[in-house]
Amino acid sequence: MNKEEMFLEELEYIKDENLQESLLKIIESLPEYWFHVAASSTGKYHPKYSLGEGGLLRHSKSAMRIGYELLEDPCIGDKYTDREKDLMLIALLVHDGLKLGEKEERYTRFDHPILMANYIKKNQDKFSLKEEDAIFIADVIKTHMGPWTKDYNGNEILEKPKTKYQSFVHMCDFLAAKKFIQVSFDEDNHIVE
């Protein structure tokens, strides 16, 4: 299955056709491991559907779907423009795109939000993103870890969300990692209604 077919539903969540194309270019550029590894090697921080082969992909799709559903509710979605919604949804799908680094490392990189944010900005031309769109996407990705900002040695590495956009992206990622929320997938990693 080609990568575009893997993300037909997710691409449809994006209203702007140019941003759909940009998202597909980002997806195609991600390391191959993103499509295969588990979201958590221990299973401690993620639900069953995001473990095993393809777990990180399923976690990412779930985070985006949660965001999409929330933004469809006018009580939530009316606080954002269509462009802001598209950019946050793009960020949700690719927020963990470099979770194990640009070249696959054994363990999660604590600074993966920064790595992915910088990757988006560095490759904005390759992804056909306007500078302000690349900055927006990077800005919400870099804070997706929410309050978990210190590395294993207690060093403050990451920023906490400050804007409503950063908080929204963190909230969707947070919910996608909760064990009590179960999302069903078919054998091709498409969300089952």
* Per-residue pLDDT tens digits for 152-168: 899 999 999 999 999 99
pLDDT at position 52, please? 86
For residue 43, is pLDDT > 90? Answer: no
For residue 44, is pLDDT > 80? Answer: no
Domain boundaries, the chain: 6-176
Mean pLDDT of 10-37: 97
Q: How many CB atoms lie within 10 A of CB 169?
A: 28
For residue 92, is pLDDT > 80? Answer: yes
Are 184 and 48 within 8 A, CB to CB? Answer: no
CATH of 6-176, one of 3.10.20, 1.10.3470, 1.10.3210, 1.20.140: 1.10.3210
Backbone torsions φ then ψ of 48, nearest 5 degrees: -55, -40
Q: How many CB atoms lie within 10 A of CB 42?
A: 8
Mean pLDDT (the chain) is 94
Token duo for residue 142: 């870099």
